[in-house]
Structures are given as C-alpha cells and as structure tokens.
Amino acid sequence: MLSSDQGAGLAETFRPLGEPDRLMLVVGCLGGARSASELAEASGISQALVSHHLRLLRAARLLQARRDGKRGGTASGRSTPSRTAASATRF
C-alpha cells in the first residue's frame, strides 16, 4: 500500500498522462523510438501539437529524447519512454 505522500508523488508524476493525446503518444513509443513526424502520422495529430506534447512529456521525465543526427540541415530526434512511463503500463 502506498503512503499518502507516495500517492501524491505518483499522481503528480503521471498527471501529464491525463490528457488522452499525451497518453496515446507515450503508448505509441512503447514499441521503440519514434520521431515526432512518425507519431503525428500515426496519431492524426498535427506535428506542431505532437512536438508540444513531447516537450511536456520530456519535461515530466515520461519520455526521453534521443538525437539521430542531422536530416536536411536540422537536428532530428526520437522519443522513447522512460522507465517511469514504461512501468505505468503494468498497472
């Protein structure tokens, strides 16, 4: 059983996943690293909104960024779930 403080901490950690699009993006990354454009195409969400959600998920440490180098003169990256997000799927 969790203490009240532990429960509050977990609730705060997972609060960003209360938004359905963010949850869908994290689940979309569970199978492996995905770029923002791949996630946008698969989810039907605009790439700008996907990028915004990914930034929030990274700030919450639910996703980790991985740089792939340069494509077309701009840096590209992929997102992978952190251990925290991956463990949430066990509940």
Which of 80 and 19 is assigned the larger pLDDT? 19
- Report pLDDT digits (tens) over 35-76: 899 999 999 999 999 999 999 999 988 888 877 665 543 334
Tokens of 57: 């998920």
Q: Give the predicted TM-score (pTM) of the model.
A: 0.75
Residue 82: band (very low, low, confident or very high) from pLDDT cuts 50, 70, 90: confident
* 3-state SS assignment for residue 81: strand
Instruction: List 71's β-bridge partners, or say none.
Output: 74
CATH of the domain at 75: 1.10.10.10
Q: How many residues does the chain have?
A: 91
Tokens of 1: 């059983």
Please state the domain count of the chain: 1
- Report pLDDT digits (tens) over 4-21: 998 898 899 889 999 999
Residue 71: per-residue pLDDT: 53
Tokens of 27: 């689940």
Instruction: Please give the residue range of the domain that contains residue 37.
Output: 4-88
Query: 60 to each of 22, 41, 82, 84, how far by Cα in Å?
Result: 11, 24, 10, 10
